[in-house]
Amino acid sequence: MEKDKLNLPQDPLTLFHQWFELAVSAEPNDPDAMALATSTPDGHPVVRMILLKQADQRGFKFHSNEQSLKGRHLAMNPNAALCFHWKSLHMQVCVQGTVEIAPDSETDEYFATRPYERQIGAWASDQTRPLENREILEKKIKEFQKKYPPGTVPRPPRWVGYILNPRRIEFWWSHPHRLHDRFEYTREENGIWNLQRLYP
Ligand SMILES: Cc1cc2nc3c(=O)[nH]c(=O)nc-3n(C[C@H](O)[C@H](O)[C@H](O)COP(=O)(O)O)c2cc1C
């Protein structure tokens, strides 16, 4: 039987950007939202939504608090997975790989472009730690506003950029009768991507 000649780019990042562009034009909310799965040291998975900031040859970049649950997981086990679901397009992209922390200079530069309220929020929030009541958070916001007027807010050292370097990316596109298209890219040690079609 003749092998399927997939008319797809050799580099999955090219295909990702094509799909992401479609998502940006089609999704009413958060086309950049993705689920991030990490694991506890004894192998229990935990998943939550985050926002994609950038996707390039290094991988998929997002920002978070290094002391949050995900941050503590990633420090112990850098293996993680992402999943995008663009409901309006009936498309899904799943990514697996290894996460590393982005260079400080790059994250400083990006943090400086964030709206003032978000910069202050990053200082005031001990993400994922217990919070007795909302007033405590609001008090901390006021304190940090006093400490850092607009234009002077440094990046909290625990607020970091993460880059998930992919080793597998699967593109899923819904078809009638559950006979979906699935394309799997896997990366070899030498960086070459292999592409194959999967049963739905
Ligand atoms: C659409 C959406 C986007 C989000 N984006 C981020 C994000 O980019 N970074 C982040 O730290 N949390 C983000 N959150 C909050 C996370 O889902 C989560 O509550 C938080 O990061 C704490 O997770 P953890 O306790 O598992 O570390 C987002 C939530 C939603 C619903």
Task: Name the residue at shortest CA distance from atom 11 of ligand 1.
Answer: 64
The domain 12-111+162-198 belongs to what CATH superfamily? Electron Transport, Fmn-binding Protein; Chain A (2.30.110.10)
Contact yes or no for 27/87 (Cβ under 8 A) = yes
Residue identified by tokens 């940006």 is: 24
pTM of the model: 0.96
User: Which is the closest atom of ligand 1 to the Cα of 33?
Assistant: 1
Helix/strand/coil for 32: coil
- Average pLDDT estimate for 88-99: 97
Pocket-testing residue among 38, 44, 46, 50, ligand 1, by greatest number of atoms within 8 A of Cβ: 50
How many angstroms separate the CA atoms of 179 and 175, rounded?
Answer: 5
Which residues form the pocket of ligand 1, taking CB atoms under 6 Å from any ligand atom?
30, 33, 46, 48-51, 62-65, 68-70, 127-128
pLDDT digits (tens, 9 = 90+) for 144-199: 999 999 999 999 999 999 999 999 999 999 998 888 999 999 999 999 999 999 99
